[in-house]
Amino acid sequence: MNHLKIELDEDTYQYLKAKFNGDEKAMGDFVNKILTNELAKARNKKSTTDNNDNLKDYLKSGKSGSRSYGIKGQGW
């Protein structure tokens, strides 16, 4: 397991300390869970954005005004 030492502002540290009754392991687990969830959201959002961009590029690559019913379904 990898470790990362972070510095917290005093208010955040005191809040966590009070919330977990000074249990530093519980505090660390909580912070780790939040970071893991936020990074997963960021990865999913980036993946969705990339897929949307790829789809937009693909649809823009067709001839404008074409009445063909090719794979893109760009008929009228």
The per-residue pLDDT for 62 is 64
CA 34 distance to own-chain centroid? 12
> What's the CA gap between 73 and 55, in Å, rounded?
13
Mean pLDDT of 55-68: 65
Amino acid at 69: Y
Global pTM value: 0.56
Give the residue extent of every domain in the chain.
10-60
pLDDT at 11: 96
Q: Is the pLDDT of residue 3 over 60?
A: yes
